[in-house]
Structure 1
């Protein structure tokens, strides 16, 4: 089944929450508690988004995270691949080590489906989801 990973879901939930709070820094604990998200996984995801410059982090008693980049400029394809790596519904589209690769009789149709999925995600901006 094709679906977003929990990590991507949590990242989008956190971005939406931060977007709603404007310039206020929000703690990982606040987001985790509000949406019943495992705090450790959320904290790792937030740190990854800091490294990718999607959000800004601040230390201290009033520290936390807030949105940095214009989310309307970032495609879902870019966001998903930044956080999780290449998008693919089967391994042969992202990993050339598939043992069936030489004799696979469905590779081209699957590749077309994968291209169409990528095109759809290219049209959707992160800001469309988080606004």
Structure 2
């Protein structure tokens, strides 16, 4: 089963919050307090989003985060994979070591499942998920 982990959930929460504030900078503390997210974890997530280019980061006492990319152009699969790395339904579709790859009789069906999931995630835009 494909799971969306907490860091992706918290990333979407943070982006939606920042988006709702228009051009105002938002601090990690502000977001963490409003949504009961552990501050240290959220700070790491926001730093990662900034490093990946999704957010601008302004340091200092009046600093915070603002959006850096057009959310209408970012699909969910690209967003997740930029933050977490490749995702898929099964290991063989991720080019990870699989002990039975050479003799597996369900590679093709699993590949179809994986492609279907990826296609669905490509259709979802971060803009739509944060409206």
Indicate the TM-score class for this superposition, using the shorter chain for normalisation.
over 0.9
Gaps of 5+ in 2: none
Two-structure CA RMSD over aligned residues (Å): 1.0
Structure-1 residue corresponding to 2:128: 128
Partners of 1:2 and 1:96 lie apart in 2 by 16
Equivalent positions of 1:61-80 (< 5 A) are: 61-80=61-80
Report the alpha carbon displacement of residue 2 of structure 1 after superposing the two structures with TM: 2.3
Structure-2 residue corresponding to 1:59: 59
Partners of 1:26 and 1:18 lie apart in 2 by 6
Equivalent positions of 1:91-106 (< 5 A) are: 91-106=91-106
Gaps of 5+ in 1: none
Report the alpha carbon displacement of residue 16 of structure 1 after superposing the two structures with TM: 0.2
Report the alpha carbon displacement of residue 89 of structure 1 after superposing the two structures with TM: 1.3
Structure-2 residue corresponding to 1:113: 113
For these two proteins, the number of residue pairs brought into alignment is: 131
Structure-2 residue corresponding to 1:50: 50
Report the alpha carbon displacement of residue 114 of structure 1 after superposing the two structures with TM: 0.6
Runs of 4+ in 1 over 6 A off after TM superposition: none
> Are the counterparts in 1 of residues 2 and 88 from structure 2 also a CA contact under 8 Å?
no
Deviations 1:27-62 (A, max 9, x none): 111111111111111111111111111110111121
